[in-house]
């Protein structure tokens, strides 16, 4: 696929806002006398990485992704930037380890970008099995390479107990008919295993009451989301990632995180809150140094995309952006 074709099929969500936030972190690190590095921890097809590289002629971008296909497309898209871009095949909870391994002595992490959830690449490739709208092998692994340790959705559904499946659908998909759907899936697999997306979508559709199908989109939407989150351990990985990213960034550096459903946003919000608020016990007359916040929030709550962006890129509709900056002892920068 040509570089232009990759760019055409991928519109980075809230690109300009992300790059402004990260660029000010880059300026802070440069002002402190270090070479700035931005880690795009969710590389995808490289849209945000490309915008960051274009915005600053000196910055180095490290792109992390567990999907080998994403690396192939991003490398082609970003080849004109030479050694200013480096792709690393890994899960993003290793962001702090990557920083320790890859940065030179005079370099510091100026920013970490997290664009969470499933990527446009994965949704649009029918063969990956992420979408209920295509009939494809029932996979949904973000890393579908031969040596991937992850099991596919088909493998998960072949072994899971009904109670655990109900929990996954209820917690990860916020599916109110989780019990009915789980029971239908387990009952059907006694006849034959699930192998395709169309097969699973059909069983879910039959399990959901007709009256509930009139609104809310396809009845299998929440089930597919829940199973994707489960096989990729997305929430567990995210729980580890945010603290690791906060540790990796240098004073003056910034973390920008975009989430697309309430479970992701809650994890980000809580992790940021722990670092932006004092940990001093209530009633303590003097705040000790170890209780002082180590980050400041750059957003009031979560920022949302505007109507024009949603019109251009409908996948941005559910995005929520939060950002923080690691505190220094001296100056404060503008948002």
CATH architecture of residue range(s) 3-121+234-326: 3-Layer(aba) Sandwich (3.40)
Q: Confirm if 314 and 22 have CB atoms less than 8 A apart.
A: no
Question: Was 48 annotated as part of a binding site?
Answer: yes
Domains of the chain: which residue ranges? 3-121+234-326, 151-231
pLDDT tens-digit readout, 69-124:
889 999 999 999 999 999 999 999 999 999 999 999 999 999 999 999 876 655 65
Question: Was 47 annotated as part of a binding site?
Answer: yes
CATH class belonging to 151-231: mainly alpha
Task: Give yes or no for residue 49 having a pLDDT over 90.
Answer: yes
Task: Give yes or no for residue 330 having a pLDDT over 50.
Answer: no
pLDDT tens-digit readout, 233-272:
999 999 999 999 999 999 999 999 999 989 999 999 999 9
Highest mean pLDDT among 10-14, 127-131, 198-202: 198-202
Question: Was 252 annotated as part of a binding site?
Answer: no
Residue carrying the six token digits 């920083």: 99
Question: Was 122 annotated as part of a binding site?
Answer: yes
Q: Say how far apart CA 334 and CA 24 lie, in whole Å.
A: 8
pLDDT the model gives residue 334: 45
pLDDT the model gives residue 117: 80
pLDDT tens-digit readout, 256-267:
999 998 999 999
pLDDT the model gives residue 142: 86
pLDDT the model gives residue 291: 66
Question: Was 65 annotated as part of a binding site?
Answer: yes
327: Cβ contacts below 8 Å, ≥ 6 apart: 251, 293, 294, 295, 296
Question: Was 270 annotated as part of a binding site?
Answer: no
Q: Confirm if 87 and 15 have CB atoms less than 8 A apart.
A: no
Measured from the Cβ of residue 171, the count of other Cβ atoms closer than 10 Å reads: 15
Q: Say how far apart CA 335 and CA 332 lie, in whole Å.
A: 9
| Stretch among 81-90, 137-146, 165-174, 180-189 having the lowest mean pLDDT | 137-146
Q: Say how far apart CA 272 and CA 246 lie, in whole Å.
A: 9
Q: Say how far apart CA 221 and CA 181 lie, in whole Å.
A: 12
pTM of the model: 0.88
Structure tokens at 53: 């590289």
């Amino acid at each position: 696929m040509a570089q232009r074709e990759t760019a055409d099929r991928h519109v980075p969500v809230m690109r300009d806002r992300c790059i402004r936030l990260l660029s000010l972190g880059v300026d802070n690190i440069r002002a402190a006398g270090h070479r700035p590095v931005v880690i795009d921890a969710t590389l995808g097809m490289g849209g945000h990485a490309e915008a960051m590289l274009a915005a600053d002629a000196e910055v180095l971008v490290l792109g992390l992704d567990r999907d080998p296909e994403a690396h192939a497309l991003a490398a082609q898209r970003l080849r004109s930037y030479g050694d200013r871009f480096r792709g690393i095949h890994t899960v993003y909870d290793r962001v702090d380890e990557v920083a320790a391994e890859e940065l030179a002595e005079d370099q510091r992490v100026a920013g970490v970008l997290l664009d969470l959830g499933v990527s446009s690449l994965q949704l649009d490739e029918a063969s990956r099995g992420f979408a209920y709208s295509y009939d494809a092998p029932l996979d949904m692994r973000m890393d579908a390479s031969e040596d991937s340790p992850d099991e596919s959705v088909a493998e998960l559904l072949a072994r899971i107990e009904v109670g655990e499946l109900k929990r996954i659908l209820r917690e990860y998909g916020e599916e109110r008919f989780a019990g009915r759907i789980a029971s239908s899936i387990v009952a059907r697999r006694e006849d034959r295993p699930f192998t395709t997306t169309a097969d699973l979508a059909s069983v879910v559709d039959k399990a959901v009451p007709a009256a509930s199908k009139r609104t809310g989109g396809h009845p299998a939407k929440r089930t597919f989301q829940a199973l994707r989150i489960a096989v990729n351990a997305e929430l567990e990985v995210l729980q580890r990632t945010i603290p690791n990213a906060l540790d990796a960034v240098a004073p003056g550096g910034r973390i920008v995180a975009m989430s697309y459903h309430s479970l992701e946003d809650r994890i980000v919000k809580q992790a940021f809150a722990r670092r932006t608020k004092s940990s001093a016990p209530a009633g303590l007359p003097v705040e000790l140094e170890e209780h002082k916040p180590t980050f400041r929030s750059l957003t009031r709550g979560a920022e949302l995309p505007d109507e024009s962006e949603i019109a251009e890129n409908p996948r941005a509709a559910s995005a929520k952006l939060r950002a923080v900056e690691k505190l220094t002892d001296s100056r404060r920068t503008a948002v």
